[in-house]
Amino acid sequence: MLDDTLLDDPAALRRADHDRALLALAGSGARVRTALRLAEAAGLDRLRPDGRPRAVLVAGHGSALTAAEMLAALAGTASLVAPLPPTDAAPVPRTDRATAPAVFTAGLAWQLPGWAGPLDLLVISSAAGGERGLVALAEQAYARGCAIVVTAPEGSPLAEAALQVRALPLPFVPSADTSDAPADDDDGDRGRGAEPDLPAEDPAALWAHLAPLLALTQKLGVTPLPYDALAASADLLDATAVRCRPDAAAYTNPAKSLAARLAGTVPLLWAEGPVAGAAAGRFAAQLAERAGRPALAGLLPQALTAHRGMFTGQLGAGADPDDFFRDRVEEPDPLHLQVLLLRQTAEEAPAGPGSAAGPGFGGAPGAPGASGASGEEEDGGPAEVPADDARPRSFGVTRAHRLAAAHDVRLTEYASRRPEPLHALVELVALTDFAAVYLGLAAQS
């Protein structure tokens, strides 16, 4: 059950946010700027590539792999970008019986594809830098003649191994200091007490992985980004943090509104295009991690056939939350299906009153993150698209609306009107990250 009163109580939100996820997300823009500055200081600005690599392999786990998937979406078909997930896991022995068990990810293992060689680039990204499997992967890539770039915390075993294999070391930017955070209690950190070797991931670690990765691939010509696209992305993250701040009322905070809309539902996260598809996949992972909620992500048009059975089953029209004969005291509210459709629509909004979805729909075509004098009418940001919106839709989107309407399933459409794919991706991910955290905090209470 969702405690919607908590969403309008900033003090209660701060008390419930034991691992300071909202604070971490609010600092995402600063984290991107720091990562870009440190990458330049590490030698990225002096890099003079002879040409594009045949393939870019990105190895890691968690949000590092999410960053790889986003890079693949932005690179398109011009370059081969292949995420390298772990292929095996082994137990890591304790150094002391009195200490906590080693983190599960420390024992993960990776394997290079058989075709990888001197024409390819391997990027290894880790927030901890202690994975022995990534150290072994760097050694394997060095033996094959691959170019290697390593993003890891300074002084970590992985960062030291990067120097041994002649890799370009890029520092991983950690979250802001939380040493004064309250101590964990029985109702504190979700899952950390029950599964100490599977700690929750920093929700903003994605940007510390993605920023240096995009700066590198921009330099190599893998991602055709404008020269100021990364700096503008940091501004967009700041603008989203202002719109989605805890002290903003739920009716003006798009992340709180989205969280309340998803409560009590099984969401189908559909997307049109690879950029929105990467955002939908990230949202599904964050709903599981931060809110403990299942969600299915899919890319149109194939999601229509893959998820068709969800509409004809129990969660479709048969799950009526307003059933007159339901015992509202003894029976919990039934789950029902909901479709959330994410899109990037770069066309201009039609003129005239009542044509927009409300404040913030798509935003003006000005600089990212611009705001009014009052600070309350920030520019841009994805917003709900009205059902009677007159803009042209693809046949897949039109068919999705018809399928949902035929089975009385609510379909909510969110669109970013940024013409630059990276900026649309940043806006969609930033909004849905905040929504997942708010949903988790309100559900816990």
**Taking a C-beta distance cutoff of 8 angstroms, is the pair 268, 298 a contact?**
yes
3-state secondary structure of 139: helix
CA distance 132 to 107: 7
Q: Of all helices (H) and strands (E), which one includes residue 124?
A: strand 121-125
Tell me the CA distances in angstroms from 350 to 74, 389, 395, one per residue in order. 28, 10, 21
pLDDT score of 383: 78
By C-alpha distance, which of 234, 211, 198, 222 is closest to 28? 234
Between 353 and 300, where is the model more confident? 300
CA distance 267 to 338: 5
The string of pLDDT tens digits covering residues 368-415 is: 444 333 333 345 688 788 878 888 889 999 999 999 999 999 999 999
What is the spatial distance between Cα 12 and Cα 124, in angstroms, rounded to a whole number? 39
Q: Are strands 88-89 and 108-109 parallel, antiparallel or unpaired?
A: antiparallel
Predicted confidence (pLDDT) per residue in 291-339, tens digit = 999 999 999 999 999 999 999 877 766 445 555 555 555 555 678 899 9
Residue (of 136, 67, 74) closest to 108 by Cα position: 136
| High-pLDDT (> 90) share of the chain, % | 67
Q: Which residues contact 17 (CB under 8 A, 6 or more apart)?
A: 23, 437, 441
More confident residue, 64 or 321: 64
Per-residue model confidence (pLDDT) at position 183: 42
Beta carbons within 10 angstroms of residue 176's beta carbon: 13
The confidence band for 345, taking pLDDT boundaries of 50, 70 and 90, is: confident
Say yes or no to pLDDT of 363 above 50.
no
Taking Cα atoms as reference points, which of 109, 105, 103, 104 lies closest to residue 84? 109
| pLDDT per position as a tens digit, 200-226 | 999 999 999 999 999 999 999 999 899
Out of 168-177, 254-263, 320-329, which region has the weakest mean confidence (pLDDT)?
A: 320-329
In whole angstroms, what is the distance from residue 107 CA to residue 93 CA? 9
Separation CA 265–CA 291 (nearest Å): 12
Distance CA 121, CA 175 (A): 28
Amino acid (1-letter code) at residue 429: V
